[in-house]
Amino acid sequence: EVQLVESGGGLVQPGGSLRLSCAASGFIFSSSWMSWVRQAPGKGLEWVANIKQDGSDKYYVDSVKGRFTISRDNAKDSLHLQMNSLRAEDTAVYYCVRGGTNFAHWGQGALVTVSS
Amino acid sequence: QSALTQPPSASGSPGQSVTISCAGTSSDIGGYNYVSWYQQHPGKAPKLMIYEVNKRPSGVPDRFSGSKSGNTASLTVSGLQAEDEADYYCSSFAGSDNRVFGGGTKLTVL
């Protein structure tokens, strides 16, 4: 059974940083594109970033370019999202997702709240 | 990186069929056969229902079907059941560096 478990969410002040992690199991992690998708409270889904199997290609939505960094550790079956210079509009549930285009499996999400 | 356009709401009675549209452009839906649909119940994570326009993952009932014509994709739910009441989102590949979602449609089973 595919499992994706996010951690690292919480409350952070504007301008602060946070690092999300995702522990993957139940599939061959090193063979899968991985993504982060977020959902602001009461709003729709927004693709944030994705990363190729070997980490050689990474892509981001315009609003987070230069502030967020996606990375992976295939030896530890883990995905990460380093978030810097956080803004109030980054407040959302962040989902770890298996897939780069077809988002096949989703974690339960980690809530990130940016507020003073 | 504009979002795809979905109607905010849709509804149908049990047993009926309902179709949800998802409008894009030639840069996303119209340019690729990588449209997917997701079901999200309140407080839950989204679930993949349709991928690559009209393919169903294992375990998804065949009451769910997808199609595409030009720049618009559609999700049809046939034989509506109470448990189909949820939010539905479409998504499309929009180039190697971009993925876009629709704003979501709240499906109500009357």
- Give, in order, the Cα–Cα distances in Å from A110 to each of A16, A21, A36: 17, 9, 11
pLDDT in tens, B70-84: 999 999 999 999 999
Of all residues in chain A, the one with the smallest CA distance to B88 is: A44
The amino acid sitting at B81 is Q
Which comes out higher in pLDDT, residue B3 or B40?
B40
Query: What's the pLDDT tens digit per position in A36-77?
Result: 999 999 999 999 999 999 999 999 999 999 999 999 999 999
Q: Show the tokens assigned to B90.
A: 């479409």
CB-based contacts of B96, cutoff 8 Å, min separation 6: A57, A59
Question: How confident is the model at residue A77, as a pLDDT?
Answer: 98
Distances (CA, A) of A5 to A20, A81, B62: 10, 13, 29
Asked if A35 lies within 8 A of B99 by C-beta distance, the reply is yes
CB A49 within 8 A of CB A95: no
pLDDT of B92 above 90: yes
Cβ contact, residue pair A103, B46, below 8 Å: yes
Can you tell me the mean pLDDT for B49-53? 97
Report residue B94 as tokens.
């929009």
β-pairing verdict for A10-12 and A110-114:
parallel
